[in-house]
Amino acid sequence: MAEMIFYERPVALNRERHRNLKLRPQADGQFNFARHTNSVLMAAAEIEEAIKDYPVVFVPAGEGHYVLAGLLGLRDQENLFVDAAGNWRVNTYLPAFVRRYPFVLAEGGDGQLTVCVDESYPGLNESEGEALFADDGTDTPLLAGAVDFLKRFHIEMRRTREFTDRLAALDLLVPKTIQVNRGGKQEVLEGLYIVDEQKLRGLGDAQSLELLRSGYLFWIYAHLCSLGNVERLARMEASAGGKVAKAAKGKKK
């Protein structure tokens, strides 16, 4: 799952190049950039709020690693939480991955972090909105707050990586398939993983205590509870003209 989805023209934020840049206040259509994604990365710290609205699953990220993701739809390029006007569904949790846009931290090969901005975002301009830089070239409160948010999200994503790596090391993750019936034709959403409850219950006392004290056990059960939201997505899709979806039992490959 790409870290840079949404970003069509990301560039390093520059005090000279972007000295007059302003961010227009939120308005209708502000989430059009997220209309065509059916999932977003999530930090484990978000899971307590996210599970009220989204199925939260694990997705392979190469070399035995996994990322945590919230499902926004049951088919490619489908976000059931962005309406025709480009607004996010009211009274639902807005993932941090979405909230940080149009800003993002890019990590170089040397580990250095660079604040970038998507110059293609329509809300950025030089005539209307709140400035990113003050007259003396320093960050305005708006930009300082955005950068602080990016840094905190980056830290939480590192914690999430530690969490998912520990689950992988304990061999707790198994494949999960979602089957979707559309017009009598079965379609399958694959590449998702969930925690195997039987394996979880089979852990030794020391490992179970470790998961409890680290806070991982809470995140695990929150993730498992969130899987019921697959049916919610199915109902949302059906009300939008789709068919019923059902979750199939995961089978270890």
pLDDT in tens, 151-187: 999 999 999 999 999 999 999 999 998 877 766 667 7
Rounded-to-integer distance, Cα 167 and Cα 156, Å: 17
Q: What is the pLDDT of residue 108?
A: 78
Q: What is the pLDDT of residue 182?
A: 64
Q: What is the pLDDT of residue 170?
A: 97
Both tokens of 188, joined, read 């399958």
Q: pTM for the complete prediction?
A: 0.87
Rounded-to-integer distance, Cα 167 and Cα 159, Å: 13
Rounded-to-integer distance, Cα 154 and Cα 168, Å: 21
pLDDT in tens, 14-69: 999 999 999 987 666 789 999 999 999 999 999 999 999 999 999 999 888 999 99
Q: What is the pLDDT of residue 184?
A: 66
Q: What is the pLDDT of residue 141?
A: 96
User: Measured between alpha carbons, how far is residue 72 from residues 42, 78, 83, 161, 241 in Å?
Assistant: 12, 7, 12, 21, 16
Both tokens of 108, joined, read 């170089």
Nearest to 130 by CA among 148, 145, 119, 112: 145
Could you tell me if 43 and 69 are in contact, meaning their C-beta atoms sit under 8 angstroms apart? no
pLDDT in tens, 104-161: 998 877 778 999 999 999 889 998 899 999 999 999 999 999 999 999 999 999 999 9
